[in-house]
Structures are given as structure tokens and as C-alpha cells.
């Protein structure tokens, strides 16, 4: 394997941080993008570095490993920026990374509605950027991105031509980095109304200023499309629906009807607007309330559906929450399986980083079995290609969608 070159003159003036002798430098050389605090030599100078500082990382023998962003306040002490060394990030540096990310998305999609940057997998660790036409929403979930938000936004405008750029500070990772939760308008004027986004023949309304995350979940796009193939003529139930994700795709696929269930009344109102814009308002209904309560109530009412989809929030966002999260996924499966007609389909999803595919599948099968149903697994889906996976970082492959025939 090629060893990183010696630091260039451009990086020579940067502070140096160093791995402990027993730290796994080999993993870093092979592409693992993080170094944890317990792997670092933290003296008074290193511990005093401002969160977001760009530094040169060395192994215990003082061989350079690359440019990193440092945050002494985080368990992730270093995030790899450039294994080849080079200059610290500036507008030109960001523009080069963004241009590569844009080239991939423009090859994949014929309209500018997608995740433009998926953090480590696009060489911009901790940074999420979702694009909605001429509007882009940045989630800077790492300290270095907050420090360098101005050149990042300038490069984003230059590369994409976006006229409105928003900062969304609602990401869970920001609190782990010691960052605030203050949103901001970085360029242009924030939209006064939700933005229509067309995907898979459906129309979604994205609230980029007040909605969940950046306003819309692009990651489920291919799973929406697969579900739509099962939906023709079907009665569809979409639980944890948000703005109508699977329900509206099913209506576009010819569903006879779709019922969307969610705890958020504003999200369901956006779903209703989307259905009306599609001309499918007469086939669409909503029920607002706790998803578990709604599943139980539909069972008590004797309701049945040909296609049931449950796409809950992350029940296991971290390893300490794994056991509790798996029990919640099992409960979702147990409550939803009885609502599926004989020969119908059940789609169960997880966006939990800590629950891998094997553990999630096991929880789903336990729930289905305890509901007295038998299942065929016909398809396993993940996030769309605008959410690329960094092979060295298992956490970047977070989304799982299991399609069962009962």
C-alpha cells in the first residue's frame, strides 16, 4: 500500500497531533476516517486546540498520516480530511470536493433534488448537504464544518449555482461535538412556503426551514420505488409516514387507497398537500397520533391492508440504546403483521446506525412470528446512490428496508 507523502510546505505550519504507540495507525492508512480520543496523545497543547482546528496527524513514529480536523471536546478526536496532506481547507478546496460530489449526482438524477454531500463518503466528514433545486440545506455536524461554514457556503454557491443556502443545526451529532442548535440563512432568503419535490411520480412538500432534518428524506427513494411496484390496486398503510413518503409513492404506483399515520400534524398536512397536487387527494387519508397506538387501534378495528409500511425513526441511534431499540422494532413488526392481508406485503425499515442488518432482521422476524404470521423475504433495500457508503465506516450504511410477503 502506498504510504502518505511527507507533509507539503502548505501544511508545514499546521499544528501536529499524534497517535499513541498502541493506536491502530494501519486502520487510518486503510481509510478509516476517524481517530478516537483514547487513541491520541493529549498533552496540554493538544488538549487546548480550538474545536475545528485543522492539524497534521502523525503516527507514534512521527510519520505523517494526513490532514485532520481536530475536536478535543468530542470522542471523535480527529476526522480525516486529506490522507495526502496538502493545504488546509479553503473555498477552492471545498469547490474541488463539491464538484466531485455534484458530478456523481448529475449522472444519477435528471433533476436537482438529491443528497449532494453524504459526509465521510464524499470526503467531507460530518457534513450533510441536501439540494432542493436552487435551495441547498447544509447540516454541519462536526466542529470543523461550523468553523469553515463561510468558505463552504461560498464554494457551494459557486459549484451548484444555488441562490439560497440554509444552515440546519438540528443534527444529533452537533451536541456530541459541543455545538449549538442555531439555524441560519447563509445566502439568499429562506423560502416562505414548502418546496414541491417530484420523485418516483409522486409530489412531496419539503419544509426546509421547519421540517424534520433538512425537510425531506431522499434516502428512501429506491425503496419507495420498489414499494410502488407492489401497490397497484392495493390498500396501503404507511406508518411513521412523515410527509407521505411511501404512501404518495404507492398512490403514484396505482394504489387504490393510502392511509398515512404519523405523530406530526404539520407533516401530515404536507402529505395531504402533496397528494392533492398529484390529483390523488380522493384516495388519500391521514390519522395523527402515536404510531404504536394507531397500529393497535387499527388491529382492534379489524382493518386489513394489502401493503403495510413502517418507517420509524432511529430506535437504536447508539450502542447503549441497541437492546431497547431492537425490542421496539420487534413491537412494530408484531403490531403491523396482523394488519397485512393473506399474500400481502409488509415493509419494515430501520435508520439506526447501531442495529446492523442481521440484528434488525432478527427483531422483525421475531415480531412477525409472535403475530402468528409466516414470511418470505423478497427484497432488502438500502439508501439510494446519493447516499454512498464508505466501506471502511459501517455507520455510513445505516438504512435498511426489508420487504416481506406474508
Report how far residue 328's alpha carbon sits from residue 290's, in angstroms, rounded to the nearest whole number: 13
| Residue 358 CB neighbour total at 10 angstroms | 8
**Other residues' Cβ atoms within 10 Å of the Cβ of residue 98:** 24
Pairing of strands 53-58, 16-18: parallel
Please give the Cα distance from 385 to 110 (Å, whole number).
14
**What CA–CA distances, in Å, run from 153 to 79, 81, 160, 214, 387?**
20, 18, 11, 16, 20
DSSP 179: -
Contacts of 52 (CB under 8 A, 6+ apart): 69, 70, 71, 142, 143, 144, 145, 146, 147, 148
Nearest to 145 by CA among 119, 163, 166: 119
Q: Residue 40 forms beta bridges with which residues?
A: 19
* Alpha-carbon gap, residue 28 to 303, rounded angstroms: 53
Bin 361: left if φ > 0, else alpha if -120 < ψ < 50, else beta.
Answer: alpha
For residue 162, indicate whether it is catalytic: no
Options 78, 310, 351, 364, the catalytic residue: 351
End-to-end CA distance of the chain: give it in Å, rounded: 49
Indicate which residues carry an active-site annotation.
Answer: 351
Amino acid at each position: 500500500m502506498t504510504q502518505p507523502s511527507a507533509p507539503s510546505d502548505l501544511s508545514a505550519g499546521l499544528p501536529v497531533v499524534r497517535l499513541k504507540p498502541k493506536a491502530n495507525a494501519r486502520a487510518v492508512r486503510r481509510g478509516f476516517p476517524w481517530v478516537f480520543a483514547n487513541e491520541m496523545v493529549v498533552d496540554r497543547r493538544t488538549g487546548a486546540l480550538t474545536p475545528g482546528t485543522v492539524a497534521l496527524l502523525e503516527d507514534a513514529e512521527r510519520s505523517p498520516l494526513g490532514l485532520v480536523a481536530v475536536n478535543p471536546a468530542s470522542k471523535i478526536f480527529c476526522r480525516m480530511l486529506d490522507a495526502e496532506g496538502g493545504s488546509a481547507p479553503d473555498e477552492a478546496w471545498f469547490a474541488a470536493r463539491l464538484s466531485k460530489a455534484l458530478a456523481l449526482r448529475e449522472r444519477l438524477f435528471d433533476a436537482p433534488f438529491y443528497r449532494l454531500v453524504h459526509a465521510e463518503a464524499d470526503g467531507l466528514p460530518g457534513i450533510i448537504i441536501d439540494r432542493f433545486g436552487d435551495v441547498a440545506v447544509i447540516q454541519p455536524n462536526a466542529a470543523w464544518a461550523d468553523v469553515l461554514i463561510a468558505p463552504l457556503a461560498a464554494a457551494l454557491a459557486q459549484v451548484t449555482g444555488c441562490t439560497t443556502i440554509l444552515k440546519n443545526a438540528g443534527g444529533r451529532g452537533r451536541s456530541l461535538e459541543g455545538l449549538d442548535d442555531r439555524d441560519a440563512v447563509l445566502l439568499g432568503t429562506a423560502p416562505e412556503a414548502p418546496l414541491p419535490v417530484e420523485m418516483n411520480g409522486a409530489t412531496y412538500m419539503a419544509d426546509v426551514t421547519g421540517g424534520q432534518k433538512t425537510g425531506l428524506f431522499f434516502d428512501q427513494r429506491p425503496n419507495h420505488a420498489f414499494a410502488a411496484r407492489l401497490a397497484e390496486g392495493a390498500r396501503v398503510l404507511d406508518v411513521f409516514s412523515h410527509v407521505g413518503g411511501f404512501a404518495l409513492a404507492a398512490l403514484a404506483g396505482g394504489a387504490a387507497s393510502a392511509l398515512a399515520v404519523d405523530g406530526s400534524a404539520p407533516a401530515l398536512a404536507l402529505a395531504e398537500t402533496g397528494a392533492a397536487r398529484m390529483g390523488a387527494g380522493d384516495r388519500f387519508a391521514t390519522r395523527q397520533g402515536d404510531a404504536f397506538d394507531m397500529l393497535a387501534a387499527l388491529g382492534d378495528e379489524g382493518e386489513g391492508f394489502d401493503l403495510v409500511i413502517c418507517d420509524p425513526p432511529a430506535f437504536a441511534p447508539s450502542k447503549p440504546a441497541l437492546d431497547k431499540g431492537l425490542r421496539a422494532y420487534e413491537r412494530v413488526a408484531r403490531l403491523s403483521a396482523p394488519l397485512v392481508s393473506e399474500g400481502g406485503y409488509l415493509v419494515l425499515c430501520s435508520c439506526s446506525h447501531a442495529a446492523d442488518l442481521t440484528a434488525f432482521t432478527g427483531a422483525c422476524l421475531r415480531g412477525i412470528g409472535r403475530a402468528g404470521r409466516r414470511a418470505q423475504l423478497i427484497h432488502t433495500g438500502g439508501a439510494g446512490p446519493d447516499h454512498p457508503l464508505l466501506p471502511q465506516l459501517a455507520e455510513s450504511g445505516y438504512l435498511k428496508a426489508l420487504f416481506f410477503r406474508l
